[in-house]
Structure 1
Amino acid sequence: MKLTTTVAAIGLLAGGAHAADLGSVDEPIKLAINEWTGQHVSTHVAGSMLEAAGYKVEYTTAGYMNMYQAMADGELHAALEIWSSNVSEDYAKKVDAGGVVELGDLGLDAKEGIAYPAHVADLCPGLPAWEALKDCAQTFTSAETIPMGRLVDYPADWGTPGADRMKGLDLPFKAVPAGSEGALITELRASTEKKSPLLITFWQPHWAMSAYDVQFVELPVGNEECFNDPAWGTNPNATHDCDFAASRIFKAGWSGMADKWPAAYEILTNYQLSVTDQQPMMGAVDVDGGSVEEVVAAWMAANEATWKPVVDAAIQ
């Protein structure tokens, strides 16, 4: 797959960068690797930029919901793709305590929600309106959920946003956590090939949105009252009877990074990645079978004019 520079990717040239000392170049900067391909891509692009600046980088597997203590302790140094709509309370606590600092937005235009492959609208008349699911639940039943419909939710480590919506909207569905991002894709592929019913918690940017013509269910607009006040919305007995909050995707790091690796802190703060660049790389990995390392290396080689000025501004 050819990976080309886009105008949107010029967001990498975010303002405010200036030359800084490299700092402790002999010690590796440890970047968090979470559970989905897009995050791997975002992280490896950032790591490649750090390596181009002269740093050593280690990619460290970390649980998305519980990595912030390690970051506050300086055992993990940065996480490059945190979703505001699905982040643990521990993140805010560590920021308030001073151990973790935010490094700004990543730049991805994001959305999360309850979704289905487009053909499912023929099996559940009334979609995308959420009320249609009340009458179609039996269409989505499985052996493990009878008599309720089946919602394939995020992996358990990512939280339970799908289950929260089924309860909040009082829909007769049981949320079943997927084992991984790959399991979610397997569900989408099988449903599309067999034209079978599927309701799933999903997100964009993701290459599967276009590959499987994924559509979002139209839910009541999400807001703070919905998330905190049961009296708000259609269900007076529950919160989350609404859509997901608008997602902001941002970066965070160990608070000691600015002192230990000043230029690295500068690079990660100014690093951005567009959906138009990330999604093709995700497809090159998950569809075409390339490794994250190979795909990112190809993007870096083809887009030096996009990312190199950020590195140069930090070290020269």
Structure 2
Amino acid sequence: MRVRTTSAVAGVSALLLLTGCGAADMTEQASPFANARGAKTVTLSVQSWVGAQANVGVARYLLEHELGYRVDTVQVDEVPAWDALSQGRVDAILEDWGHPEQEKRYVEDKRTIAPGGDLGVTGHIGWYVPTYFAKRHPDVTDWKNLDRYADRMRTPESGGRGQLLDGSPSYVTNDKALVTNLKLDYQVVFAGSEAAQITQLKQFAKEGKPFLTYWYSPQWLFEKIPMTEVKLPAYEEGCDADAAKVACAYPHTPLKKYLNADFARTGGRAAAFLKNFKWTTEDQNEVSLMIADDKLTPQEAARKWADRHRSTWRPWLPS
């Protein structure tokens, strides 16, 4: 969830449940199904945010129960996942937030990775304040006015400045550069993971305190804590090309799927299914909320969603 990006897109969701986007690097982990000659197996890369786990949960459930495959999942950081996909340690990534350097290297130059099509969900990263605070202080939603509220956003961790709460240090974000280049009286503070960030936001909301946070959509937490985006300087193509000079908002990013190139050619019905897999933000959030709030496993949530939405997923099944 890059940026969840590099200089292009910074970024929207365990267990697999609420660990951060910075999961342990497991690119050297071999899938128990890797090189299982003649077996109907698929290995999926699963990122640690809940929206990505919802994608994989539903894909896994349908691959296993409708198409008869055995499915393994491997948790890998965003950029190392491209290496794992290129080398065939995983067969597919179902939610990429935009990694142009890896795309050029592996898709265009080496041709070891093949595009798998749109996921159907558009991701966006931004800075957010709680809506209850924005209603009382509507000018806070313009970045030019943030310093007026820096003293209200201070925490013991922010060193006398306002706190801009980020998630995992492994996220690729533009936030430190933005704070510097926009000359804001704020300090970026990393919660450590998506789970830890959510815990802090819930505590702030419970106490009715103001906060400024890096956050992203789609994400189920908006259902529990309404948040309003702060308007940063408008995004224009190339404004984030130099990571040190970024002074613009994050873009809106259509989320993509990618397949190992050999798997795309020889993966049969599984590869065809994953190319066909395309759903809406509402679908993803429905599954994410069951995982995060109802405490269901991704497979339990996938089963419930699949039972309710047969008309959505049946067209994904190859004939």
TM-score by length of 2: 0.82
Structure 1 residue corresponding to 2:195, chosen from 152, 158, 182: 182
- Residue 93 in structure 1 maps to residue 105 in structure 2: yes
Cα root mean square deviation, aligned? 2.1
Number of the residue aligned with 1:19: none
Structure 1 letter corresponding to 2:304: A
Tell me the alpha carbon deviations over residues 224-272 of structure 1, each in whole angstroms, 9 at most, x when there is no partner.
Answer: 3421369xxxxxxx62211101211110111111233122221111110
Structure 2 residue corresponding to 1:40, chosen from 16, 40, 53: 53
Q: Structure 1 residues 154, 92: CA separation in 2 closer, same or farther (over 3 Å shift)? A: farther
Rounded Cα–Cα distance in structure 2 between residues aligned with 1:46 and 1:164:
37
Bigger Rg, which one: 1
Structure 2 residue corresponding to 1:159, chosen from 172, 178, 186: 172
Structure 1 letter corresponding to 2:263: M
Structure 2 residue corresponding to 1:220, chosen from 225, 229, 233: 233
Structure 1 residue corresponding to 2:84, chosen from 62, 70, 95: 70
What percent of counterpart residues are identical? Answer: 25
Q: Structure 1 residues 264, 35: CA separation in 2 closer, same or farther (over 3 Å shift)? A: same
Number of the residue aligned with 1:205: 218
Q: Structure 1 residues 308, 167: CA separation in 2 closer, same or farther (over 3 Å shift)? A: same
Tell me the alpha carbon deviations over residues 65-85 of structure 1, each in whole angstroms, 9 at most, x when there is no partner.
Answer: 22111110011110101112x
Number of the residue aligned with 1:298: 304
Structure 2 residue corresponding to 1:267, chosen from 273, 285, 304: 273
The alpha carbon displacement at 1:187 in A equals 1.9
Q: Check conservation: 2:129, 2:211, Cα contact below 8 A.
A: yes
Gap runs ≥5 in structure 1: 1-23, 231-237
The alpha carbon displacement at 1:194 in A equals 0.6
The alpha carbon displacement at 1:308 in A equals 2.2
Structure 1 letter corresponding to 2:311: A
Q: Check conservation: 2:239, 2:248, Cα contact below 8 A.
A: yes
Q: Check conservation: 1:25, 1:56, Cα contact below 8 A.
A: no
Tell me the alpha carbon deviations over residues 147-167 of structure 1, each in whole angstroms, 9 at most, x when there is no partner.
Answer: 221111131222123323222
Rounded Cα–Cα distance in structure 2 between residues aligned with 1:89 and 1:108:
22
Tell me the alpha carbon deviations over residues 104-136 of structure 1, each in whole angstroms, 9 at most, x when there is no partner.
Answer: 110013321011111233676621111111222
Rounded Cα–Cα distance in structure 1 between residues aligned with 2:135 and 2:305:
39
Rounded Cα–Cα distance in structure 2 between residues aligned with 1:41 and 1:225:
32
Aligned positions, number: 282
Rounded Cα–Cα distance in structure 1 between residues aligned with 2:284 and 2:242:
36
Identify which range, 113-122 or 56-65, moves more after superposition. 113-122
Q: Check conservation: 2:127, 2:213, Cα contact below 8 A.
A: yes
Gap runs ≥5 in structure 2: 1-36
Structure 2 letter corresponding to 1:134: D
Q: Structure 1 residues 27, 263: CA separation in 2 closer, same or farther (over 3 Å shift)? A: closer
Rounded Cα–Cα distance in structure 1 between residues aligned with 2:180 and 2:271:
42
